[in-house]
């Protein structure tokens, strides 16, 4: 069940549906509004499929992709294979990640958030270069 505030924020995309997939870097799921997913697929479509690395990337990136919908009560059914990938046990965290939603097992999320040794250093490295 999605929180009502999040459901309101996603209202524009509810009719189009969403794509749910495995995260590339974390043991969580990523939920893309259909508009975001289509834009990403346009980008992937530009890759030369005759290069093995590109083909391997596309296959791995789209493995387990499922189109999902949020029902009128704000419920989202997560397919079992994706629940297994994210090792979701009981409690989940639904976290906004700019243009997508991340879905985590609560304990894994807490562990991932607390694993940053020095977030200030990471923030400076990623966001501190004004010229980029």
Question: In the chain, what's the furthest Cα-to-Cα distance?
Answer: 46
Q: What is the pLDDT of residues 62-95, one digit of tens each?
A: 998 999 988 888 888 999 999 999 999 989 999 9
- In angstroms, rounded to a whole number, what is the distance separating the alpha carbons of residues 29 and 83? 8
Top CATH class, 4-127: alpha beta
Q: What is the pLDDT of residues 31-58, one digit of tens each?
A: 999 999 999 999 999 999 999 999 999 9
pTM as predicted: 0.84
Q: In Å, how far are 51, 65, 92, 93, 118 from 101, measured between CA atoms?
A: 31, 15, 12, 10, 24
Domain residues of the chain, as ranges?
4-127
Three-state SS at 94: strand
Residues 33/11, Cβ–Cβ less than 8 Å: no
């Amino acid at each position: 069940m999605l929180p009502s505030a999040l459901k309101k924020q996603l209202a524009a995309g509810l009719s189009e549906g969403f794509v749910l997939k495995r995260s590339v870097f974390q043991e969580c799921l990523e939920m893309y509004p259909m508009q975001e997913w289509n834009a990403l697929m346009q980008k992937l479509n530009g890759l030369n499929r005759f290069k093995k690395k590109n083909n391997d990337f596309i296959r791995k990136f789209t493995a387990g992709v499922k189109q999902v919908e949020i029902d009128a009560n704000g419920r989202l059914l997560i397919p079992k294979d994706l629940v297994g990938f994210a090792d979701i046990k009981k409690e989940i965290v639904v976290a906004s990640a700019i243009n997508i939603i991340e879905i985590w097992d609560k304990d894994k999320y807490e562990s991932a958030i607390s694993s940053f040794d020095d977030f200030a250093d990471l923030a400076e490295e990623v966001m501190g270069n004004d010229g980029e």
